[in-house]
Structure 1
Amino acid sequence: MTSKLSLRILGLVLCCAAAIPGLGTVAARAQSVVVMVNGEPITNFDIEQRSKLNRMSHKNDSRQQVLDDLIDEKVKIKEGKKYGVNPTDSDIDSSYATMASRMRMNSAQMTKMLAAQGIRPDTLKSRIKAEMVWGSLVRGRFKDSLQVSEREIQAQLKGGDDSKAVESYEYQLRPIVMIVARGSDSVDARRREAEQLRGRVTSCAEADRLFKALPNAAIRGTVVKTSADLPPALRDILDKTPVGHLTAPEVTKQGIEMVALCGRKQSTADTPRKREIREKMFADKFQAKSKEYLQEVRKAAMIEYR
């Protein structure tokens, strides 16, 4: 009974579609296959969906560019399966949620935003999957050739005014907060109190005793950071602060904050400049290897235009 009813409903839908001029033609055109990639179809609908997604990020790629991207993604995913790189739905959903959070949304809100532009969430998830697969493949298969040596970094540093940039420090820090209630008009008074206390502290042991005994104040445990971990403005402040002393009071959401500098020593860790060079060189090597590998994989793929 159910089977017969389903067939009747299907027949009714098809008849209605045929009765509306052009509707059947539009649907067929949207789902018509443009190219087969290793036995998997890419349709006009896929191209239209990706074009809409690209326009949301202000990319006005031509139809052929969009098609090429979709072909590349098909061959990337096929290559990944060959080497056992196949993200689960959970992995993809997690990456989708992370992308949404960077836009200050949750997954449901981003799905709703995409739907408002006529875009299915699977359109974005397909791109995410291809990027995850390809990133893992290139890093895994060509790990050694992507490494950036110290010699390469030093070669980049030579000839430039990077004498200071090659110095790296390790800082031992103890954050301090003097709590100020929200909406309180005592911020200025609390700041003056912080300045007075700052002048009395000449060691971290003194800071520990003082702020542990002070009402509405806290001194946290030691945090170790290197030059590359800190923003330039904070590095500059710490380099000018004597060891055992406090940085100038700063008003934050928590109250009045300072940092006790408990130690500063030269380190072999990357400096900010060296890290910047290392990341740039790695990105360049990755891009070159990715392009070369993709050309190789695409040549071996079965791509049939319709």
Structure 2
Amino acid sequence: MTMTFAPLRRAFGAMILGLAVAGAATLPSFAATVVTVNGLTISDVQVDQRLRLFRMEGNKGGRNGALDQLITEAIQMSEAKRLNITVSDAQVDEALLQIARNLKVSQDRLVQMLSQGGVSTDTLKDRLRASIAWNAVGERAVAPNVQISDLELDQRAAQKVSDYQKFDYILKEIIFVGSGASGRSSQASNYRSKFSGCDGAVQLSLAYTDAAVVDIGRRHATQLPEAMAKELAGMNVGGITKPRVVENGVSMLAICEKTQAEDLTFVKDDLRAEVGGDSMKAQVDAYLAQLRKDAKIVYN
């Protein structure tokens, strides 16, 4: 039986764990130090446990990969300690519980599954603790230094904006309220065939039952759904879109004003998070690489 942990997403990364039930194994009764990292010891039992977790995940990193991950976590925990960052047992327990929830099993069942694979719950908790601590290190030591260039955002945003998104509109929405989409669509289509511009929109609606005209106001194309923006781009002032079934009836948009305007505001808002995340990850990776370079690692 194979199961997969859902992602535990943090500010700048994700931990994705896989879990498969394997045969139970007996743990050794003694532990010998394999490596010391900045004064923190890693034992052969810890390596063996992490290797078992790797196997349950389908991770083929082997013993060297398990040891390397433990060394990385020791470096991360050492840096967290230097910055006076602590991770409470409650935080770790909550992360463990979240894994169980994502698996749609109880926490007791999750512990049982680990045990059946010969893995101590503490092995998973240690990895969660290091991940939480490292996230906190990044937020404190790296995030304040992440710079996002407005020029870079402008350039990326301009590349993302298509021709149909380079318009600014003042719109009215005409809604035919009620269920029965086919009947309402027919009336909306009739209204559309008689529509002659925004000035007469309200007067024309009075000839229909449960028809309303709503002032949408100014909208840039980047604020509209793609299909709607494309349809409006091909229309002139006084045009009205095809009827669309919406939650409360049938809707159409009428163009009262239309101007050429390349507004990058809304595109940049999405890009800011995307670029910031990429920059954050790059700087966090560089930060960790430097810590590893400076770490005192002694193999026994």
Report the TM-score range of the alignment, normalised by the length of the smaller protein.
Answer: 0.5 to 0.7
Whether 1:286 and 2:280 are equivalent positions in the alignment is yes
Does residue 46 (structure 1) correspond to residue 45 (structure 2)? The answer is: no
Aligned position for 2:7: none
SS in structure 1 of the partner of residue 287 of structure 2:
helix
Question: Normalising by the residue count of structure 2, what TM-score does the alignment of the two structures yield?
Answer: 0.57
How many matched pairs? 266
Provide the C-alpha distance between the structure 1 equivalents of 2:62 and 2:178, rounded to a whole number of angstroms. 57
Which amino acid letter does the alignment assign opposite residue 297 of structure 1?
L
User: 1:227 touches 1:235 (CA, 8 Å); kept in 2?
Assistant: yes
CA drift of 1:138 comes to 3.0
- String of CA shifts for 1:95-129, please: whole Å, max 9, x gaps: 667777xxxx6575375478547467765565455
Post-superposition shift, 1:140? 3.7
Rounded Cα–Cα distance in structure 2 between residues aligned with 1:295 and 1:108: 36
Q: Distance in 1 between matches of 2:95 and 2:205?
A: 46
Does the C-alpha gap of structure 1 residues 91 and 204 become closer, same or farther in structure 2, counting only changes over 3 Å?
A: farther
Amino acid at match of 1:258: S
User: Using the alignment, how far apart are the partners of 2:125 and 2:216 within structure 1?
Assistant: 42
Q: TM-score, normalised by structure 1?
A: 0.56
The runs of 5 or more residues in structure 2 that have no matched partner are 1-23
Q: Distance in 1 between matches of 2:125 and 2:172?
A: 42
Change (3 A) 1:156 1:197: closer
Instruction: Tell me if structure 2 keeps the 8 A contact 1:85–1:133.
Output: yes
- Equivalence map 1:62-141=2 (5 Å): 62-88=62-88, 106=102, 109=105, 111=107, 112=109, 116=113, 118=117, 126-141=126-141
What is the CA–CA distance in structure 1 between the aligned matches of 2:176 and 2:123, rounded to whole Å? 47
Q: Within 2, Cα distance between the matches of 1:29 and 1:152?
A: 57
1:127-185 C-alpha deviation (Å, 9 max, x unpaired): 45544443443344334642221223456689x797849958688786968453xxxxx
Q: For residue 28 of structure 1, give the secondary structure of its aligned residue in structure 2.
A: coil
Change (3 A) 1:287 1:116: same
Which of 245, 251, 259 is 1:258 aligned to? Answer: 251
- Measure how far apart 1:92 and its partner are: 5.4
> For residues 239 and 177 of structure 1, what CA distance do their matches in structure 2 show?
24
Quick one: percent identity of the two aligned structures? 20
Q: Secondary structure at the match of 1:27?
A: coil
Cα deviation for residue 79 of structure 1 reads 1.9
- CA spacing shift, 1:200–1:282, aligned 2, 3 Å: same
Code of the residue aligned with 2:251 in structure 1: it is M
RMSD, aligned CA? 5.3
Name the CA distance, whole Å, in 1 between partners of 2:278 and 2:36.
32
Q: Give the conservation status (yes or no) of the 8 Å contact 2:47–2:70.
A: no
Structure 2 Cα separation of the partners of residues 193 and 156 of structure 1: 44
Structure (1/2) with the larger strand percentage:
2
Kindly indicate whether residue 144 of structure 2 is the aligned counterpart of residue 188 of structure 1: no
Using a 3 Å threshold, how does the CA distance of structure 1 residues 134 and 188 change in structure 2: closer, same or farther?
Answer: same
With over 3 angstroms needed to count, the CA separation of the structure-2 counterparts of 1:122 and 1:162, relative to structure 1, is: same
